[in-house]
Chains A and B, each alone.
Chain A
C-alpha cells in the first residue's frame, strides 16, 4: 500500500467536513454555519486497494493570512506539515471569493486539487463552468463533487493520486505587478541565499511583506535579516497589501471571464426568508418565538415519556428494596443508585427533544441568522455576532462552546466570550428547571424554563458589558459573516446530531452521576447506624454547616448538599435531590419538594443553578483555553457572587409578590 497525506482546506461552510465524512466514513459534526470545525481531524480511506490516503480536515479560512486561533491551526498545518496534496474544497456557488485562497496555495508550491463542492446548487441556479478549462488555466486539477450526495468522490481520489506524483514547485498564478513583483523577487533572492526556510521562497517573501512574520523569526542570519528589513522599509506595506489583494482578484476575474457564467439572479427562497428573519424589528421577536417553541416542546411533549420512565424506575426501586436480603445493599441500590441515577435518566426525553429541535435549527441554517441578528445587540457591548455562536453552542454543553471561541480573533473579545459562555444554560442544568418548574409552576412550566434561559443570556450580556467596561477594555472588531443558504435538513443528520449531543448525558449517568449518587448515598448513610438521610448523617452535617449561608435564599440543607455536589457536574444536582428528598418516609420526592420549597425559593434555586460556578469539565477547558489560573479562579468566584445576588433578589421580590 502507498501512503498519501492529504489536507482538506477551504473557506468556512463550504462542506469540508461533509467531504471528510464522505471520504473516510467518519461521523464528524457538520453544521450549516461557518466555524463548526475548530481543530484538525484526521481519518483514512483506501483507494483501489493500492493507496492509503490519510486525510486531515482543517478549520475554515478565507485566506492564509491567519488572525484567529482556529485559522492559525490551518495555516501552520499547511505551511509545515508533511503532506503530499492539498485539496481545496470550493463552494461552486461562490467561485470568486473561494479562489482567493487558491491563488495563495499555488504561491506556496503545494500540489493543489480543487474539489468543486455544492455543484448541484450551482446547477440549480443555472451557473455554467468549463471545469477542464479552469484546470488548464490554474495548472491544477479541478473535480466536481457533491459531498452530501457522495458524487464525484472517485474522480477526486484519482486526481489526488495523480497530483501526489507531481513535482512540488511553486507555480504562482498571479503576477503581482510592477509595484510588488520586484520587491517579492528581491526578498526571494535573499531567502534563497539564506537557504534555511521550509516553505517556498515566494510564499515566505509574501508573508514577510504582509507582516505575517518578522524577518528575524524566519532568517537566523542577522545580515540577511537586516537586508530584508531594509527592503521592507522602502515601501508602504499597507499600500502593497492592498495591491496584492487587488491583483489576486483581477487574476481570478480574468480566469473566470471566459469559462464561467453565473445563472440569472432568480428569486431565491433563502433570500426571501432572510428579508424577514433578519429584519431590524422582527428578527429578535421571531428568534424568541422559536426559542419559546423549543422549550414548550421540551417540557410539554416530553412529559408522558418522563412519566413512563419515572414509573419504571419507581417500580424497580421498590422491587429491589423489597427483595434484597442485605439491608445496606438494598439501600445502596434502591435509595442511592436507582433513586439518584434513575432520577437523572427521567429527564432524557427532555434533553433529546431539545437537541432535536436545536439540530433542526442548526441544519437549516437558522443559527447563522441568529448570530447575525444578535450582532446588533452584541456590538453594543463591544462584542460581535461571532461571540453569539459559542453561546448558542453552550445550550448543549459549555465545553465545546468555550472551545468554539477560537474563531474569535481579538484576544480580549475571546476572553470575555469564554468567561460569559457558561451563563448560557447547558443541558445538564435543564433537569433542575424541568423538575422545579413542573412541580411548582405546572401551568406555565415551559414558559418558566424559557425565562430561565433568557435570564442566562441576560446575565451573559450584562457580565460581558461589565468586563468590557472594566477589566477588559477595548474596541470590538467588525463582524463579517456569510449567511449560508437554507437547506432542508435530512432526518439522518438531524438524528445523528441529536444523538451526538444527547448521548453524552446518558454516558454521564453511568459515570460521574453514578459516582455522585454513591458518594451522596454514603454520606447520607454514615456514620454507621444513623438513619438514612437524617440530619445526623455526614450529608446532614455538611448541609447544616453550610445551610446558614444559604438561608437568605430559602434553601434547606439538602439543597445545599446537592449544590455542593453540582460542582462535579450539574446533572448531579438532580440526582442528589432524588437521593436526599426521596429518602423521607411516606412521601414522594414531588410532595417533599412541594412542601419544602416556596415558589420564590424555587425560582431562586433555578437561577442559582443557572449561574453558579461552572462544572469541573468547564473549568478545565476555561483553564486550557486561557492558560490562566487567575481567570479560571475569577470565573469561579464571580459566578458564585452573581448567582447568590440574583437568587437573593428573586427570593426577596418573590416573597413580596407571592
Chain B
C-alpha cells in the first residue's frame, strides 16, 4: 500500500513540476496547473510513503510513515479542494468577471481524489489504535 501511494504521489508531483518548467498547457487533472509548490509538496508526501516502504522491509516503524503520509496527503488534498470551492463561489455566488468562463475541471487536480485512499487508510489505522487503547485499559 505504501509503495503504491508513494509512487502515485511521486508521479503526480513530478508531472506538476514538469508542467511548471515546460509551460505546457496540459489539463489541470494531469498537471495540477503546473503548480510548482504543490508539485514539491506531493513529492514530499511520496517520499514519506517510500521511506515507509523501506522501514517495512527492515521491519521498523513502517506503519508510522504510512499514517503520517496519509495525514499530510489528506491535508494537501483538502487545500486543493477548498481552493476549488473558493473559485466555485467566485464563479457562481459572486459572479466575478474573472470567473465567467470558469468550470470546475479548471481547478480539478489529481491530488483531490487521492484524499479517498488517504482518508480510508487513516480511518482504518486510527481505529486500530483506538482498539489497542481500549483493550489496554
Please state if B75 and A290 are interface contacts (CB–CB under 8 Å).
yes
Measured in the bound complex, the distance between the Cα atoms of B48 and A273 in whole Å is 12
Measured in the bound complex, the distance between the Cα atoms of B85 and A444 in whole Å is 18
Say yes or no for A124: interface residue by CB 8 A criterion.
yes
Q: Mark B56-79, 1 if CB is under 8 A from A, else 0.
A: 000001011101110110011001
Say yes or no for B37: interface residue by CB 8 A criterion.
yes
Please state if A286 and B64 are interface contacts (CB–CB under 8 Å).
no
Please state if B86 and A273 are interface contacts (CB–CB under 8 Å).
no
Q: Which A residues between 418 and 443 are near B, CB-CB below 8 angstroms?
A: 443
Please state if A304 and B86 are interface contacts (CB–CB under 8 Å).
yes
Say yes or no for A303: interface residue by CB 8 A criterion.
yes
Please judge, given known A-B contacts A293-B75, A308-B94, whether A267 and B37 are in contact too, CB under 8 Å.
Answer: no
Say yes or no for B132: interface residue by CB 8 A criterion.
yes
Q: Mark A254-292, 1 if CB is under 8 A from B, else 0.
A: 000000000110110100110111010110011011101
* Nearest A-chain residue to B61, judged by Cβ: A275
Say yes or no for B8: interface residue by CB 8 A criterion.
no
Measured in the bound complex, the distance between the Cα atoms of B94 and A517 in whole Å is 29
* Nearest A-chain residue to B67, judged by Cβ: A272
Give A139 Cβ to nearest chain B Cβ, in Å. 31
Say yes or no for B16: interface residue by CB 8 A criterion.
no
One of A281, A290, A296, A307 near B96 (C-beta < 8 A): A307
Say yes or no for A458: interface residue by CB 8 A criterion.
no
* Nearest B-chain residue to A308, judged by Cβ: B94
Residues of A within 8 Å of B132, CB to CB, are 266-267
Please state if B136 and A263 are interface contacts (CB–CB under 8 Å).
yes
Say yes or no for A447: interface residue by CB 8 A criterion.
yes
Say yes or no for B30: interface residue by CB 8 A criterion.
no
* Nearest B-chain residue to A284, judged by Cβ: B44
Measured in the bound complex, the distance between the Cα atoms of B126 and A301 in whole Å is 29
Say yes or no for A332: interface residue by CB 8 A criterion.
no
Residues of A within 8 Å of B40, CB to CB, are 289
Please state if A276 and B136 are interface contacts (CB–CB under 8 Å).
no
**Residue among A264, A277, A281, A285 with most chain B CB within 10 A:** A285
* Nearest B-chain residue to A272, judged by Cβ: B64
Q: Mark A174-214, 1 if CB is under 8 A from B, else 0.
A: 00000000000000000000000000000000000000000
Residues of B within 8 Å of A124, CB to CB, are 133, 137
Give B61 Cβ to nearest chain A Cβ, in Å. 5
Please state if B67 and A273 are interface contacts (CB–CB under 8 Å).
yes
One of A267, A277, A304, A444 near B129 (C-beta < 8 A): A267
One of A276, A290, A297 near B82 (C-beta < 8 A): A297
Please state if A293 and B136 are interface contacts (CB–CB under 8 Å).
no
* Nearest B-chain residue to A303, judged by Cβ: B86
Please judge, given known A-B contacts A269-B126, A290-B72, A293-B79, whether A276 and B65 are in contact too, CB under 8 Å.
Answer: yes
Measured in the bound complex, the distance between the Cα atoms of B58 and A2 in whole Å is 66
Please state if B36 and A300 are interface contacts (CB–CB under 8 Å).
no
One of B86, B96, B129 near A301 (C-beta < 8 A): B86
Say yes or no for A130: interface residue by CB 8 A criterion.
no
Give the size range of B's interface with the partner: 35 or more
Q: Which B residues between 28 and 67 are near A, CB-CB below 8 angstroms?
A: 33, 35-38, 40-41, 44-45, 47-48, 51, 61, 63-65, 67
* Nearest A-chain residue to B90, judged by Cβ: A304
Give the size range of A's interface with the partner: 35 or more
Please judge, given known A-B contacts A126-B137, A266-B136, A296-B79, whether A276 and B94 are in contact too, CB under 8 Å.
Answer: no
Please judge, given known A-B contacts A273-B64, A308-B94, whether A285 and B47 are in contact too, CB under 8 Å.
Answer: yes
Overall SS of chain B's interface = helix
Please state if B137 and A286 are interface contacts (CB–CB under 8 Å).
no
Q: Which B residues between 80 and 137 are near A, CB-CB below 8 angstroms?
A: 82-83, 85-87, 89-90, 93-94, 96, 126, 129, 132-133, 136-137
Measured in the bound complex, the distance between the Cα atoms of B133 and A272 in whole Å is 14
Please state if B129 and A289 are interface contacts (CB–CB under 8 Å).
no
Say yes or no for A246: interface residue by CB 8 A criterion.
no
Give B115 Cβ to nearest chain A Cβ, in Å. 13
Please state if B90 and A282 are interface contacts (CB–CB under 8 Å).
no
Please state if A447 and B37 are interface contacts (CB–CB under 8 Å).
yes
Please judge, given known A-B contacts A282-B48, A286-B44, whether A273 and B96 are in contact too, CB under 8 Å.
Answer: no
Residues of A within 8 Å of B133, CB to CB, are 124, 266
Please state if B94 and A272 are interface contacts (CB–CB under 8 Å).
no
Please state if A300 and B68 are interface contacts (CB–CB under 8 Å).
no
Say yes or no for A612: interface residue by CB 8 A criterion.
no
Please state if A450 and B44 are interface contacts (CB–CB under 8 Å).
no
Residues of B within 8 Å of A292, CB to CB, are 37, 41
One of B48, B86, B90, B129 near A276 (C-beta < 8 A): B48
Please state if B37 and A264 are interface contacts (CB–CB under 8 Å).
no
Measured in the bound complex, the distance between the Cα atoms of B65 and A285 in whole Å is 14
Say yes or no for A123: interface residue by CB 8 A criterion.
yes
Give A372 Cβ to nearest chain B Cβ, in Å. 15
Residues of A within 8 Å of B87, CB to CB, are 300
Measured in the bound complex, the distance between the Cα atoms of B94 and A444 in whole Å is 22
Measured in the bound complex, the distance between the Cα atoms of B94 and A290 in whole Å is 29
Give A289 Cβ to nearest chain B Cβ, in Å. 5
Residues of B within 8 Å of A266, CB to CB, are 132-133, 136
Which A residues contact B (CB, under 8 angstroms)?
Answer: 123-126, 263-264, 266-267, 269, 272-273, 275-277, 279, 281-282, 285-286, 288-290, 292-293, 296-297, 300-304, 307-308, 311, 443-444, 446-447, 450
A275-B64, A276-B61, A282-B47 known; 9 new pairs, CB 8 Å cut-off, are: A286-B68, A297-B79, A300-B79, A300-B83, A301-B86, A303-B86, A308-B94, A311-B94, A443-B33
Q: Identify the 5 closest CB pairs spanning chains A and B, nearest first.
A: A276-B68, A272-B64, A300-B83, A304-B89, A275-B64
